[in-house]
Structure 1
């Protein structure tokens, strides 16, 4: 069984979730059940699916869960973009999140590619 804590992409995505929670605390209260909830769920899905994938026996199954994480990254990337356009965060904060999300996506992509090459 794989230990999810040994994957740097898991650690980075976990840190992203912590930052998303801090960021969304500053969103308007009327977004609590809208954008705030959705971005938190999408962000949390990234490390959660890495963890769940680590419990799978085959490389193919693990890669499938990493693919779900990748999709959640895409979702977070858009939701951060939307929050910027709605004026909930500055361009500077947006850029910081964008760099981090792209880094996570690159790591996931490389890991998926490696796992798929094994099968």
Structure 2
């Protein structure tokens, strides 16, 4: 098999760039910037669904981690009151406030830092 065929096969199987690769905080903020600048067209921007999926995935992962920490008797990452939610604008503002090093973290980890700062235990 030629090298080009192997590359084409890897790409077609999704091996070249795994879909599970986490988006960094910085990438998330960079993709969100045009949507924030023009909120009236945000829903029609192709990146909207990508960003929504990333934020939803980070939230699900943090909930799962929180449940696992609780089951293991470990301290929670954050102590958000029951029924409390954080809106997307608050999330983005919190992510904006992270240090440059923290903005290189996966979105889930950066979001955990935002929640920990906003809802300390």
Greater relative CO, 1 or 2 (CA 8 Å, sep 6+): 2
Give the structure with the larger helix fraction: 1
Q: TM range, normalised to the smaller chain?
A: 0.3 to 0.5
Larger radius of gyration: 2
Q: Normalized against structure 2, the TM-score is what?
A: 0.34
Q: Normalized against structure 1, the TM-score is what?
A: 0.35
